[in-house]
Structure 1
Amino acid sequence: MSVREQRWAGTIDIAEYRYPAVEYPPENQTTMPSDRAYWITLSFVPRVGGKTFRALVDRFGSPAEAFAAPEGELAAVPGVTPGTAKKIKAYARRVEAIEEETFALADQGIGLTCLADPEYPVNLSYLRDAPPILYYRGLLHPGEGQGVAVVGTRTPEPRARKYARDLAGALADRGIVVVSGLALGIDTAAHEGCVEAEGRTVAVLGSGIAHTTPVENTELAEQILRQGAVLSEQKPTAQASRNNLMARNRIIAGLSLGLIVVQSRAAGGALAAAERAARAGRALFTVDFGDPSEEYAGNRKLQSLGATLLPAADGRAAAIVQEAVASMELKREAGWTLQSASDVQLRLFEA
């Protein structure tokens, strides 16, 4: 296994290896695209997601070298079809134009970071299919390790909504970054609780960063920007779609060392995020409301998978989460390999 493969697999400390830093063009440079331009352009190619992007860079050494490779060599890379190879060659002619487009993002208050940047979020960079490019508004703190995702249904019961809000506030009081997806329901409650506590929260969109999805949370998104960030892997003008919303679950899980499902039915986005967290070796938590109804079937499913049960009423949940996440952070910094869920557990997710 190569050093790069070890990094992607999470078997070495992230501080020991990163892709070679991208080079930035001097001011007013117009003659040659920067390294970053090749990263951005390769991420734009249809059907080149995180895994395929990684395979291309592993094979050729850099996005620029991938663009220079013959179609036949591109098509020999795992995940690259002959059709995708043709698209890569076509996009090689658009590097400068795409770079010009990205220069305008700063004027819109949109930042951009790629996987080779030291600014890229450290927890997320462990994922094998980490997004090559992230667009963001607000404050990006790459070194923060104690992120915790709080997710759940879009139609929670009042007690679950209050629980998410209170727990997010308590986590914020302990200096923990709260990550969620800005969806209605539990996500909204988590972001609101963190904002009220004047803590840091990160919202991951299923649309491009130029849109706030859902529109009902436009004001909340602006509040988040005061101390947190709103980010997306999608092109800035991309609309929300089912595929994009599902894809962002891996980012929510990847930014965090632990994920809490407050309320969930037997299937849905919250359980999809929990599965991604399990595959990435993150700590899983759910809340024990003692409710046998279908509205909490997802909670019971997670309990059967071995998720840590958080008490519903006695106020100890934040301390339990902090202790577990701090332990994982220390092990990660010591070079610990994050252990993913077993095949049996993952099959239970699909049951």
Structure 2
Amino acid sequence: MRDTDLRPPDPAALLADWIRLEQTPGVGPATVRRLLAEFASPSRIFDAGYRALCDHVPAPVARALSEAAAPAMLRQIDLTMNWLAQSGNHLLTLHDAAYPPALANIPDPPPLLYLKGWPELLASPMLAIVGSRNASLQGRTNAEVFAQALSCAGLTIVSGLALGIDACAHLGALAGPSSTVAVIGTGADTVYPARNHALAHRIAQEGCIVSEYALGTPPLSANFPRRNRIISGLSAGVLVVEAAARSGSLITAQVAAVQGRDVFAIPGSIHSSLSKGCHKLIKEGAKLVESAADVLEELRMSPLATMVIAAPAAATSRAGQAVLDAMGYEPAEPDALAVHCATAPGPLSLVLLELELAGHVERLPGGLFQRIKR
């Protein structure tokens, strides 16, 4: 045996083989898993030769795997190695001991996870919170409050860094002790949407950003539904806060159910389009959730640490309180409110403006108003 055969494998070379395998055209997560089951490692896949590979993959893929790496592939490997040299950046392979076991057991786990932040969070108990990008104020408030309460109970909150519910879930989780994980649909060196740049930077410092996509991958529409399987795959369950009847959040919930994860949904007004998706999930068997304790009960976790001290609400005038009492928590039409409160539309408009500025009500499409529960 040669002395060189006794040397341990070069970690950089091993990573380079993983990157090359994952980036080969025609090779997706399922193909990677099938090839690894047969050849054990990326290096052995590349050494297997065209004929042996043709038994497991189409001829064009076998040819790409058996030929030398193209210059563009080598540039991508160099880019990744330089990125890994920067503080806080990590790359997990499917064979790494730190790869999350729950994610490894889904049907098509990503071969590589690009991470920014704290990889240790991927070993903690996790719960996903997802919902509409065009969320109502009540929905955004619910996402933040639930995320903070569940973070206080020891759950790391997973979401997708989108506008609306996702962003509020991340913020609520960061306000608790257990932090947050953002699963993105771009390369880990890209922030999308740009409006969440400050939030992404904070998550990279205090939580963890996760991507299965190579560095430089732009925000392609097909990638976002696909990353949802990672959001649910990392998590013990998925809580849908608000979702329209045709919502990407429902895809996450459906994938979660297939993966054997618990699905939770917060109900809303029967008149709200953003409640339709949650109501559909509840009809199909999702657990109706009214408090963080409902989630923890299902997950068999202690609710003792979930108390969140809410900020005091702004003071309300006597007229404002009378309008709030008349509204209840359903969307209300101002003319009907004026009749119910026995007041003229002009004075009522001033009271509604006062309540909106104080954060007690939200103006909805169609001129409706809805009371906010905090």
Q: TM-score, normalised by structure 1?
A: 0.78
Q: Which runs of 4 or more aligned residues in structure 1 lie more than 6 Å from their structure 2 counterparts after TM superposition?
A: 93-97
Q: Say if 2:92 is the partner of 1:113.
A: yes
SS of the residue aligned with 1:288? coil
Q: Say if 2:10 is the partner of 1:25.
A: yes
Q: How does 1:164-183 map to 2 (within 5 A)?
A: 164-183=143-162
SS of the residue aligned with 1:155? coil
Aligned twin of 1:272: 251
Name which of 294, 297, 302 aligns with 1:323.
297
Name which of 252, 260, 283 aligns with 2:231.
252
SS of the residue aligned with 2:188? coil
Q: How does 1:198-237 map to 2 (within 5 A)?
A: 198-237=177-216
Aligned twin of 1:87: 64
Aligned in 2, Cα 1:97/1:293: closer, same or farther, shift over 3 Å? closer
Aligned in 2, Cα 1:114/1:73: closer, same or farther, shift over 3 Å? same
Aligned twin of 2:267: 288
- Answer yes or no: is the 8 Å Cα contact 1:263–1:299 preserved in 2: yes
5+ residue gaps, structure 1? 1-22, 27-32, 312-316, 328-351
Cα RMSD (Å) of the superposition? Answer: 2.1
**Aligned mates of 1:212, 1:97 — CA distance in 2:** 22
Amino acid corresponding to residue 318 of structure 1 in structure 2: A
Q: Say if 2:279 is the partner of 1:300.
A: yes
Aligned in 2, Cα 1:242/1:98: closer, same or farther, shift over 3 Å? closer
Aligned in 2, Cα 1:297/1:72: closer, same or farther, shift over 3 Å? farther
**Aligned mates of 1:69, 1:91 — CA distance in 2:** 13
- Answer yes or no: is the 8 Å Cα contact 2:267–2:275 preserved in 1: no
**Aligned mates of 1:222, 1:134 — CA distance in 2:** 18
Residue 228 of structure 1 and its aligned partner are, at CA, apart by 0.8
SS of the residue aligned with 1:141? helix
SS of the residue aligned with 1:226? helix
Stretch moving more, 147-156 or 67-76: 67-76
Aligned twin of 1:58: 37
Pairs aligned (count): 292
Q: Deviations over 1:65-100 (max 9, x none)?
A: 2112232332332xx322222222236567876554
Residue 54 of structure 1 and its aligned partner are, at CA, apart by 0.2
**Aligned mates of 1:146, 1:320 — CA distance in 2:** 17
**Aligned mates of 2:198, 2:70 — CA distance in 1:** 40
Aligned twin of 2:325: none
Q: How does 1:118-157 map to 2 (within 5 A)?
A: 118-141=97-120, 144-157=123-136
Q: TM-score, normalised by structure 2?
A: 0.73
**Aligned mates of 1:91, 1:166 — CA distance in 2:** 53
**Aligned mates of 1:252, 1:213 — CA distance in 2:** 16
- Answer yes or no: is the 8 Å Cα contact 1:178–1:202 preserved in 2: yes
Residue 24 of structure 1 and its aligned partner are, at CA, apart by 5.8
**Aligned mates of 1:289, 1:256 — CA distance in 2:** 24
Amino acid corresponding to residue 320 of structure 1 in structure 2: D
SS of the residue aligned with 2:63? helix
**Aligned mates of 2:99, 2:123 — CA distance in 1:** 11
Stretch moving more, 201-210 or 136-145: 136-145
Identity, % of aligned positions: 35
- Answer yes or no: is the 8 Å Cα contact 1:135–1:232 preserved in 2: yes
5+ residue gaps, structure 2? 1-7, 302-374
Name which of 152, 160, 164 aligns with 1:185.
164
Q: Deviations over 1:153-202 (max 9, x none)?
A: 10011111100010000011111000000000100110011112343100
